[in-house]
């Protein structure tokens, strides 16, 4: 309870202050790098307060992360912040429109390269995918959770095709990542964080441009299989 209280006191205040300061400076210098550094610092402090330890394996596989799609399993709200901290990469993401409802913070996300998608609006979703492909071709790095939502059981769910089609269109390298331990520390349906260890395993990459559009299911099965094997190991 004390850990949760400390995080509740720290994180909103830090996020507001860091966004106000970082956004202005980032716009002035024309780069979102400071926003990512401030975000990573806030996450580091919050995870320390929560008693969360991260063990990372295979991070060298992300040494060159240009035109790269990071594909990870998803079981907890902790997954994205843990990956931002563990991988040390300023990755972008295609996020559902609700994330952009927060005033001012939505400007921070957009400047950092995050792309809003309305899944109910097919035309807008198509434009969002095109923007992600363009960002990747210009050297960007995106994180996707292909299950689409957090697993209810902790088991690896089926993968949606959208992120893989983006990777194929952009000729990207796909790097599978297996995350273990976040569900135990922060299960779905709750916001209380328990102390413990999270294991992040960066797996061997797959070249999306080595597959045709007709072979997209084969690509998905290959990436999902690598993550499933790592989670079982």
- Any idea what the CATH number is for the domain that residue 209 is in? 3.40.1130.10
Q: What pTM was computed for the model?
A: 0.93
Instruction: Quickly list DSSP for 136-150.
Output: HHTT-EEEE-TTSS-
Closest CA relative to residue 184, chosen from 71, 82, 38, 63: 82
Distance CA 143, CA 128 (A): 15
Q: Does residue 222 form part of some domain?
A: yes
Q: Does residue 40 form part of some domain?
A: no
Q: Residue 99 belongs to what domain range?
A: 53-232
CB 6 within 8 A of CB 48: no
* Domain count along the chain: 1
Strand partners of residue 142: 69, 92
Provide the residue-wise pLDDT of the chain in tens; the chain has 233 residues. Answer: 677 788 888 999 999 999 999 999 999 999 999 999 999 999 999 999 999 999 999 999 998 999 999 999 999 999 999 999 999 999 999 988 888 888 899 999 999 999 998 878 888 888 988 999 999 999 999 999 999 888 777 889 999 999 999 999 999 999 999 999 999 998 877 667 889 999 999 999 999 998 988 999 999 999 999 999 999 98
Q: Does residue 15 form part of some domain?
A: no
């Amino acid at each position: 309870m004390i850990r949760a209280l400390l995080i509740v006191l720290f994180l909103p205040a830090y996020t507001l202050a860091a966004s106000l300061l970082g956004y202005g400076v980032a716009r002035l210098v024309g780069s979102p790098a400071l926003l990512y550094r401030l975000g990573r610092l806030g996450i580091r402090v919050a995870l320390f307060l929560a008693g969360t330890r991260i063990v990372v394996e295979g991070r060298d596989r992300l040494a060159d992360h240009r035109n790269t799609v990071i594909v990870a399993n998803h079981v907890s709200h902790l997954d994205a912040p843990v990956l931002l901290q563990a991988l040390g990469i300023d990755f972008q993401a295609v996020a559902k429109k609700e994330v952009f409802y927060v005033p001012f913070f939505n400007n921070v996300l957009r400047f950092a390269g995050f792309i809003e998608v309305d899944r109910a609006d097919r035309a807008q979703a198509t434009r969002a995918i095109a923007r992600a492909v363009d960002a990747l071709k210009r050297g960007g790095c995106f994180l996707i959770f292909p299950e689409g939502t957090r697993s209810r059981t902790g088991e690896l769910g089926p993968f949606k095709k959208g992120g893989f089609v983006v990777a194929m269109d952009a000729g990207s390298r796909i790097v599978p990542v297996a995350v273990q331990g976040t569900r135990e520390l922060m299960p779905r349906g709750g916001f209380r964080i328990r102390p413990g260890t999270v294991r992040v395993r960066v797996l061997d990459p797959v070249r999306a441009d080595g597959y045709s559009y007709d072979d997209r299911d084969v690509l998905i099965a290959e990436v999902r299989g690598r993550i499933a094997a790592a989670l079982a190991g």
